[in-house]
Structure 1
Amino acid sequence: MNSFYVFNGRKIKRFFFVLAAAIFAIGVIYVESDNISVFSENNPSAIYSVSTDKKQIALTFDISWGEKRAEPILQALKDNGVQKATFFLSAPWSKTHPDIVNAIKESGYEIGSHGFKHDNYSTLTDEEIRKQISSAHTILTAMTGQEPKLIRLPNGDFDKRVLGIAQSLNYTVIQWDTDSRDWKNIGVDKIVDRVVSKAHPGDIVLMHASDSVKQTHEALPLIIKELRNKGYEFVTVTDLLQQGSTQGTEVRDHASLQKSIEDAGGL
């Protein structure tokens, strides 16, 4: 028996459009999952590192709860002569720990916002996102006497909407290129190895000073010593941003992409 296949031109066109869109979507997901830079200055972006030939690195610390770990970490920085670092502070925590906030400020360290509620902002409405960022801004400005310009979003979570709103409120969203994973308490040696082995010029290192981290204050002196031996200078995130071009990730709107794929089925 002979079989005959009839090909419709519109169906062929639709098939290849859907295939191309699917391949593009997979590529975007791959790029974003590996933090490969697809940064564009014309789009809202999060900053992961800075492209520079100078051996400068920014140690950053997030604080959202507790009072036991921040002071030992501040002491470790002081004892080891680190005069520049950046702390991202949760506004509710700051209100209940004014002495620690003041100690950070008096030590000369940079203070950025870590938002208000420790929620994933990508799950919030536009109005809620704006309220979270603005409320934190008001509190931190009142407590420090300076308006924060940098924000690290809770859990490092964001989407294109969040970045756009943060930018409209004059904030630069700061992520990280090296994660110490100190929040997992993986051991002093492993924390040190992760930071030292991954460090590079213009790097932004993620650490924490909340009570969940129990080994950071012990790892810091070793990290500082080994990075100095490699010729690194410790600076603030703002210092880094003034050095060269930023390495970020342009956030694609996956919802719009999915709609395009679905619409293709109706061609």
Structure 2
Amino acid sequence: MYILYYLRILALPWGNEDTQKILDILKKYKINVTFFMTGGWVESYPDDVKAIKAAGHDLGNHSEHHKHMPQLSNSSICDELNSVTEKVEKLTNTKMCLFRPPYGDYNNALIEQAKNCGYYTIQWDVDSLDWKNYGVEPIVNTVLNHKSLRNGSIILMHNGAKYTAQALPKVIEGLQEKGFQIVPISKLIYKDNYHMEPDGSQVKDGE
């Protein structure tokens, strides 16, 4: 079984205190994931962006200003995405193609325009709720016992949340014990001949 896994990196004030810890944990378990980052975070922590790329992880786009994207014009949507991509490309020579809408706020028009701008829109279905800062065990239990956890799930965790780095090893080990293989989003998503369901999941056309 495969599970899509990503860590979303937010703009300030979340900072980068745990970035290296998280990278070290992922290296220990020989796992690559997807980091989504805003333009502000890229500007503030360029060395971390380079380190994430060097470690073999996906670099994902979380927009320039973390706005409610469906409220923007088509041209503004592309500006919000391309601005981050240009910054990351200058640092890493990598062109982003994955986009995670801020707040999980999306509609058909946003998905279509993001596609027109060259991005695959991603949504999660398992929220670790680590942003609540409610402790290690609650994070682990929330993920491993989540009603939506299944083959192809996308798990949301946050760089900078108080207990994420501490909970991550137990989350990884628990998922592996359940038979899941953790992979970055780019390794599993459909890129052609698919459609999006209302819950954000991809389905092959004809299924």
TM-score class normalised by the smaller sequence = 0.7 to 0.9
- Structure 2 residue 160 is matched with structure 1 residue 203: no
| CA displacement at 1:242 relative to structure 2 | 5.0
Name the SS of the counterpart of 1:133 in structure 2: helix
- One of 169, 179, 202 as aligned partner of 1:221: 169
Partner of 2:26: 77
Is the 1:189–1:219 Cα contact (8 Å) retained in structure 2? yes
Distance 1:130 1:93, change over 3 A: same
Partner of 2:89: 141
Name the SS of the counterpart of 1:59 in structure 2: strand
Within a 5 Å distance, the mapping from 1:58-207 to structure 2 comes to 58-65=4-11, 66-79=15-28, 81-198=29-146, 199-207=149-157
Higher gyration radius (CA): 1
Compare relative contact order (CA 8 Å, sep 6+) and give the higher one, 1 or 2: 1
* Structure 1 stretch displaced more, 139-148 or 108-117: 139-148
CA distance in 2, matches of 1:167, 1:112: 14
Partner of 1:238: 186
Name the SS of the counterpart of 1:192 in structure 2: helix
Name the SS of the counterpart of 2:31 in structure 1: coil
User: What's the CA shift string for 1:147-174, capped at 9, x where partnerless?
Assistant: 1111001112122322221010111100
Partner of 2:204: none
Partner of 1:48: none
TM-score between both structures, scaled by the size of structure 2: 0.86
| CA displacement at 1:58 relative to structure 2 | 2.0
CA distance in 2, matches of 1:241, 1:117: 26
User: Stretches of 4+ moved more than 4 A in 1?
Assistant: 242-247
Aligned-residue sequence identity (percent) comes to 32
Structure 2 spans left out of the alignment, 5+ residues: 200-207
| CA displacement at 1:82 relative to structure 2 | 3.4
Structure 1 spans left out of the alignment, 5+ residues: 1-54, 252-267
Partner of 2:203: none
The alignment of Structure 1 onto Structure 2 pairs a total of residues equal to: 194
User: What letter is aligned with 1:215?
Assistant: Y
| CA displacement at 1:246 relative to structure 2 | 6.4
CA distance in 2, matches of 1:102, 1:125: 31
| CA displacement at 1:186 relative to structure 2 | 2.3
**1 or 2, which has the higher helix percentage?**
1
User: What letter is aligned with 2:152?
Assistant: G
Is the 2:49–2:88 Cα contact (8 Å) retained in structure 1? no
CA distance in 2, matches of 1:243, 1:118: 25
Question: Root-mean-square deviation (CA), in Å?
Answer: 2.1
User: What letter is aligned with 1:63?
Assistant: I
Name the SS of the counterpart of 2:197 in structure 1: strand
Is the 1:83–1:108 Cα contact (8 Å) retained in structure 2? no
Name the SS of the counterpart of 1:83 in structure 2: coil
TM-score between both structures, scaled by the size of structure 1: 0.67
User: What letter is aligned with 1:83?
Assistant: I
| CA displacement at 1:84 relative to structure 2 | 1.4
Is the 1:90–1:114 Cα contact (8 Å) retained in structure 2? yes
Name the SS of the counterpart of 1:241 in structure 2: coil
Is the 1:195–1:223 Cα contact (8 Å) retained in structure 2? yes
| CA displacement at 1:130 relative to structure 2 | 2.1
